[in-house]
Amino acid sequence: MNSSKILEITELTTCFDTPEGLVRAVDGVSLVIESGRTLGVLGESGCGKSVTALSVMGLLPKPQGRISSGSIYFQGKDLVRKSPRTLRALRGSEMAMIFQEPMTSLNPVYTVGEQIAEAFTIHEHLPKKLGLQKARETLFQVGIPSPEQRIHEYPHQLSGGMRQRIMIAMAMACRPKLLIADEPSTALDVTIQAQILDLMLNLQEETGMSIMMITHDLGVVAEMSDHLAVMYAGKVVECAPVDVIFNAPGHPYTLGLMRSIPRPGRKFSSGKQALAEIPGIVPGLIDPPPGCLFAPRCDRAFERCRLEMPPLFNLKDQSGSSHGVRCWLAESMAQQPATQGGRT
Amino acid sequence: MLNAAPPLLHVDGLKKHFPIKKGLLTKTVGHVFAVDGVDLFIRPGETLGLVGESGCGKSTVGRCILRLYDPTQGRICFQGNDVAAIQGRDLIRFRTQVQMVFQDPYASLNPRMRVREIVGEAIRVHKLHPGRSWREQTAHLLREVGLSPDQMDRYAHEFSGGQRQRIGVARALAMQPKLIVADEPVSALDVSIQAQVLNLLDRLKERFELSYLVIAHDLGVVEHISDRIGVMYLGRIMETASDRDLYQKPLHPYTQALLSAVPKAEAGQRRKRRALLQGDVPSPINPPPGCRFHTRCPEAQSECRNIHPAMIEITPGHQVACHKYAEGGKDCP
Amino acid sequence: MQTGVLETTRQPRALTRPSRIRRLWTKICRLRMGILGGLILLGLLAAALLANWLAPHGPFEQDIMSRLQPPAWMPGGSSEHLLGTDGVGRDLFSRIIHGSRISLAVGLSAVILQVLIGVILGLAAGYYRGWVDSSISFMVNVMLGFPFILLAMSLVAVLGPSLQNIIIALGLTGWPIFTRVTRVEVLKLRDMEFVLAARSLAFSTLRIMSKHILPNILPSILVLATVEVARAIIRESLLSFLGLGIQPPTPSWGAMLAEGRDYMLMQWWLAAFPGLAIFLSALGINLLGDGLRDLIDPHLRKD
């Protein structure tokens, strides 16, 4: 199995210097993505999901952000120990990232054709003309109608969905092995979101790439990912195959999220009732208290939760897949043997 | 769901066209047809949800009802009086009865004011709640929305997004409104906080005998909170129905597509393809003739391209604007 | 691999948090130029307020026997006249100290006038938009396109040269920049949801402008105003230098510079020190303005 791991993050800790003090935005996160599969990373704002992605890409804002410990093995090489130059060469060719707001990710003064062609001229050393030709093909591939015209247009002339397609086209230009998508459909309308998600699934089938899908939307992960890692306050609190989590969420936070989301049709199956809410607010990361960071909001928290941070216990279900849960309640159900992290 | 009470709010043929200005002499070169003929009504104690994608004009409808925008055309009847063109004292009186909760918990609170000023200013200025000091009343309102009155002297930026949204709700309640227009009240909040605010809105509705117009793009949110739902597309309402009908028997092809596009947060959804609709929403500057939806409709016929479909009632309370259901149409139920 | 447990338990390490003193120190370091500017302005204020005590001689006191004396440290200078004397034997140091009154009075009053005119017009243009905005913006563009010196000269020519008229001339020519800044800020703010909320709470336009919009643009106005004080001081000097401003023998730095021009080759100090005074006060106020901007800038500020 080890050979098919495209990305293996182990005990990653990423810190930020802020005026208020040092913030550990990602705190001992371990994740695994197998080639051709999709890992969903679910979490709310500030939970560290985007920082994890930026750590992998080597795109942490300097000088405030830095990886303080852990390793990130990508195709067998530890990215933490690679030079910025090597990382730059990997970005775009071996791994690529798309962001939530496609407008700010595109340069407004170049046509979309020029921007996509750039990927080819830099990474594949193609002449500019051939690069433009390739750009046209890529646009066609991501389902943009009349690419002949579109390559001569500027980002502001395109709709949000179209821009996200362009971003995907740019990311896909050099056939990366790993695509990191940070909330790629959050800024889009549902009908456009469906188009973009379909496009990503199609491209994955064609190219066999792996995807790290970062989102706050339970529906998007249910649809897109094979494995799911739920993050809260810089830590992975639960990880397992996606259906395992949706059938039997192990962490009170995951369960709370699932219960609190209004879903179409739900009130007719279970009757109109108040949504189960998770009380309290999303915690800040400055001066975190000891113990489980979810404990102040957890209705099942007990003494130990407030004193000691639980490790990631491994529940093993019938299907034999590993199911990691960072909760003291899971201790009694923990099985052996264990593997590390969110295996995909 | 048959409520015989006369509607609290009745909007009839509402249009709002924004002029597009260009050049030195600010010549009008065209219009954005943001809202182009919307009819709706809200009964006392009812929650009407308005759902649609960005640019469909749903927020503009809300702002026209509050008279933050002056409607281009149409009637807005509140408790039987047309308020579409009132000014001065009448407008002030009207606004004490209709309030708004905004989308962005950061932009909707004045960063240079303390919470007591944000919530209490209206009480002081309009001399609401005589016989009770405005401070007392403000404290009371803060408790109602689940905040501690001890936090009155803080600035808004010291609160989290969910708490800020609560402050916004308290500010609206200060006017003792009958109707609250909530424009995307939870879309800017974290997932775990959304339920808190939705439950708060539900609770306050009972407690203060409110009616709501809830505007949102999230079908789950709209359906959870609403009694009836209107689906908007490019400035027009495509379908209105009770929450149950809309979910279980969506009639309009757009409603069907919208419902199917929402990714379902449950097991066994992996790698399902959902996109029924191709392409983008056309620009409201140049809306397509005939049915607004025909450019993306998988079932469009020739008449859809030319003739605007009228709203027809299929079952009591369930109306749809689609040629498919017109009399003599092949799919007539 | 371990059994049952995927990861050993770790107590969260205590995160470092800079001490209060340390944070204050970093803040002072970041704002050191602004603080320097503030000190210069403070010195200027002190000079203006305490001129009668600080200046060793009266500003009009002539000592014809010791005319055109060089500064004290040069051969022929005396400790009686620190910076030397002018053509009629007046003490240059005393005159520069008294001159700070004129500079500050003109600078502050002119800018207050500019702010009053500029901000009100900017508020109106930004809030009402439409034809109000078009006409005000047109006026601003005309004013900004017009050479300042021509405008001020004609105004002073009509009104006559006096301290009061200089302030009026500077005030009437300097406001467009405030209108511009205010208008842009109001345009940004007026569609913000908290302003919409104020409108839906049925507050009057006056209240919305003064209580909801104005406090949010004051910081930018304040920063701009400091910079404009420096500019007004320079402009007053310029007008006085051209003989259109403060009339001799009143000690204005610009007028002193003009008088010193005739002696430039031999008695350079007569032009150099008033010039230095203008330069230093303008620099100090500009530094202060920059410092204020840093302090107010939401990206740098920590609430």
Q: What does the domain layout of chain C look like in residue ranges?
A: 46-58+72-296
Please count the residue pairs, one from chain B and one from chain C, whose beta carbons lie less than 8 angstroms apart. Answer: 61
* Nearest-CB residue to B190 (from A45, A266, A276): A45
Q: Do A11 and C18 count as a contact with CB atoms less than 8 A apart?
A: no
Residue whose tokens read 């500003």: C59
Residue B13's pLDDT band, with cuts at 50, 70 and 90, is very high
**Domain limits at A133?**
95-175
**Token couple for A188:** 């889009």
Say if residue A338's pLDDT is above 60: no
Q: Which helix H or strand E contains B204, and what residues bound it?
A: helix B191-208
Among A31-40, A97-106, A188-197, the minimum mean pLDDT is found in A97-106
What is the pLDDT confidence band of residue A177, given thresholds at 50, 70 and 90?
A: very high
Between chains, do C4 and A290 touch, taking CB under 8 Å as contact?
A: no
Task: Give the pLDDT mean for B260-273.
Answer: 84
In whole numbers, what is the pLDDT of chain A averaged over residues?
86
The residue among A145, A175, A205 that closes a domain is A175
- Phi, then psi, of C161 in degrees rounded to 5: -80, 120
In this predicted structure, what is the pLDDT of residue C14? 36
Under 8 Å CB pairs connecting chains A and C tally to: 69
Report helix angle A252-260 to B191-208, nearest 10: 50
User: For B203-241, how does the pLDDT look when each residue is reduced to its tens digit (9 = 90+)?
Assistant: 999 999 999 999 999 988 999 999 999 999 999 999 999
Give Cα separations from C247 to A159, C1, C91, C244 (angstroms): 65, 92, 18, 8
Phi-psi region for residue B274, left (φ > 0), alpha (ψ -120 to 50) or beta?
Answer: alpha
Domain ranges across chain B: 1-21+37-226, 244-262+276-333
Q: Which of C4, C9, C17 has the CB atom closest to A338's CB atom?
A: C4
* Per-residue confidence (pLDDT) for residue C148, from 0 to 100: 81
Q: Which of the residue ranges A64-68, A300-304, C52-56 would you say has the lowest mean pLDDT?
A: C52-56
CB pair distance less than 8 Å for B171 and C202: no
A128's CB contacts (< 8 A; 6+ apart) are A117, A121
User: Where among A140, A175, A210 does a domain terminate?
Assistant: A175
Residue B311 near residue B239, CB atoms below 8 Å? no
Q: Is the pLDDT of residue B245 over 60?
A: yes
Q: What is the pLDDT of residues B121-168, one digit of tens each?
A: 999 998 887 778 889 999 999 999 999 999 899 988 888 889 999 999
Q: Is the pLDDT of residue B184 over 80?
A: yes
Residue C268 pLDDT greater than 90, yes or no: no
Residue recorded with tokens 């007028």: C255
pLDDT of residue B295: 92
Please say whether the beta carbons of A230 and A251 come within 8 A.
yes
* Interface contact flag, C15 A308, Cβ < 8 Å: no
Tell me the mean pLDDT in the region C237-241: 84
A220 in any annotated domain? no
Q: How far apart are the first and last CA of chain A?
A: 10
- Return the SS3 of B236: strand
- Whether A148 is covered by a domain: the verdict is yes
The answer to whether the Cβ–Cβ distance between B95 and C201 falls below 8 Å is: yes
The angle formed by the CA atoms of residues A87, A88 and A94, to the nearest 5 degrees, is 75
What is the pLDDT at residue A74?
93
Measured CA to CA in angstroms, residue C59 lies from C50, C259, C278 at distances of 13, 15, 18
Name the domain boundary from A126, A145, A175. Answer: A175
Supply the pLDDT for residue B23: 64
> Could you say which of C2, C5, C7 has the minimum Cβ distance to residue A28?
C7
The CA-CA-CA angle for residues C10, C15, C17, to 5°, reads 175
Q: What are phi and psi of C260, to 5 degrees?
A: -70, -20
Q: In three state form, how does the secondary structure of chain C look?
A: CCCCECCCCCCCCCCCCCCHHHHHHHHHHHCHHHHHHHHHHHHHHHHHHCHHHHCCCCCCCCCHHHCCCCCCCCCCCCCCCCCCECCCCCEHHHHHHHHHHHHHHHHHHHHHHHHHHHHHHHHHHHHHCHHHHHHHHHHHHHHHHCCHHHHHHHHHHHHCCCHHHHHHHHHHHHCHHHHHHHHHHHHHHHCCHHHHHHHHCCCCHHHHHHHHHHHHHHHHHHHHHHHHHHHHHHHHHHHHHCCCCCCCCCCCHHHHHHHHHCCCCCCCHHHHHHHHHHHHHHHHHHHHHHHHHHHHCCCCCCC
- Residues 6 or more apart in contact with residue B63 via CB below 8 angstroms: B69, B183, C196
**What average pLDDT is seen over chain B?**
89
The second-level CATH assignment, the architecture, of C46-58+72-296 is Orthogonal Bundle (1.10)
Q: Contact B175/C303, CB-based, under 8 Å?
A: no
Nearest to C282 by CA among C245, C229, C238, C237: C229
Range in A114-128, A303-317, B17-31, C189-203 the model is least confident about: B17-31
Residue B329 predicted with pLDDT over 60: no
Let me know the angle formed at the C-alpha of C254 by C250 and C257, rounded to the nearest 5 degrees.
100
Residues B20/B285, Cβ–Cβ less than 8 Å: yes
Query: What integer pLDDT is reported at residue A317 of this predicted model?
Result: 66
Residues pairing with B78 in the sheet = B9, B81
Going by pLDDT thresholds of 50, 70 and 90, the confidence category of residue C22 is confident
Q: Which of B92, B99, B102 sits opposite C193 (nearest CB)?
A: B102
CB contact at 8 A, C170 and C235: yes
Mean pLDDT on A34-48: 92
- Match 């997932």 to its residue by tokens: B191
Confidence of residue B12 (pLDDT cuts 50, 70, 90): very high
Confidence band for B327, pLDDT divided at 50, 70 and 90:
low
Predicted local distance difference test score (pLDDT) of residue A105? 78
Chain A residues closer than 8 Å to C3 by CB: 336-338
Best probe of the C interface among B91, B97, B110, B187, by most C CBs < 10 A, is: B110
CB A179 within 8 A of CB A97: yes
Q: What's the structural domain count of chain A?
A: 2
Tell me whether residue A78 is in a domain. Answer: no
Q: If you classify domain B1-21+37-226 with CATH, what class do you get?
A: alpha beta
